[in-house]
Amino acid sequence: MTGDGEVKVDPNIIYLSIELREYKKEGKIVKLEELEAQLVKIIQTVGIPADNLKVYGSSGRQNDYKLSKSNLIVGKRYSLKLTDVSLLNPLLGGLGEAKILSVWISEVTHTEIDKFKTDTKIKAINDAKAKATLLTSTLDSKLGQVLQIRETELVDFYPVQALQGRVSGLQARGTMQSGYYEEQKFQTNAVDFEQIKLTYKIIVKFEIL
C-alpha cells in the first residue's frame, strides 16, 4: 500500500546574496571599503546583526583595460542571513539608497526543517496504514503485521526561483553606467513568500488475516 505525506512550511530563514563593486565617480574610484561600510551600516540600522553578513566571493578587473593598480575595479559577494522575515522589505528599502550592484534571494529554509521532514514521513506511513485498514475491512479481513516498508525519496520544494522572480521587481531601475545602475531605486511593496513544500511516498506491505 502506498502512503502519501505532505507538509507545508512558512520559511523563517532567508539568505540573500549581495554584490558590491567599485565604480568610478567624477574620475575617481569609489573604494570597496566605503561601499562595505555603507552596507554594514544599513543592515545594522534595520536591526540585523553585522555577524550575519559573510563574504563568499571576490573579483577584480581592470577599468578601461588599463593595466595599472589604480584602475583595478574590485568586487565582493556577500551572503546575508535573515532570521526575521519581516526585515526583508525594510532592508531592501535601505539597499535602494545605497550603491549596491545586485541583491537576490539565494535560499529559504526553516529552523526546524528536519522535524518537518520527519513529520512528512510519519504522515505517509499513517496514510498507508489507513488505506490498508479501509480496504481490508471491506473484505471482512484484518490488518496484520508489517511485512515490508519501502521508502521513496523525500521531495523538497524550496521556492527560491519563485521568490527570485518576485524579488526581481525590486531590482534597480535607471541607466547603466560602467556596470552600475545610477540613481538606483527599489520598490518596497510587500513580498509574499511561497511555502516550502515537503512531499513523501512510502510503500508498506501488510499481512492480511
pLDDT computed for residue 177 by the predictor:
33
Instruction: From 64, 62, 53, select the one nearest 15 (Cα to Cα).
Output: 53
Q: What are phi and psi of 45, to 5 degrees?
A: -65, -40
- Who's near 36: CB < 8 A, 6+ residues apart? 20, 76
CB-side exposure of 97: number of CA atoms within 13 Å? 9
Greater pLDDT, 148 or 182: 148
Lowest mean pLDDT among 15-19, 25-29, 152-156: 152-156
Q: Name the β-bridge partners of 108.
A: 14
pLDDT computed for residue 62 by the predictor:
47
> d(Cα 47, Cα 145) in Å, to the nearest integer?
55
pLDDT computed for residue 159 by the predictor:
66
Judge contact between 23 and 179, C-beta under 8 A: yes
Whole-angstrom CA distances from 146 to 14, 136, 151, 205, 209 are 41, 14, 14, 6, 12
Lowest mean pLDDT among 41-50, 78-87, 150-159: 150-159
Candidate ranges 74-83, 168-177, 180-189; pick with highest mean pLDDT: 74-83
pLDDT computed for residue 160 by the predictor:
61
Lowest mean pLDDT among 8-12, 131-135, 170-174: 170-174
- Name the band, by pLDDT with cuts 50, 70 and 90, for residue 61: low
- Which grid coordinates are listed for 92? 531592501
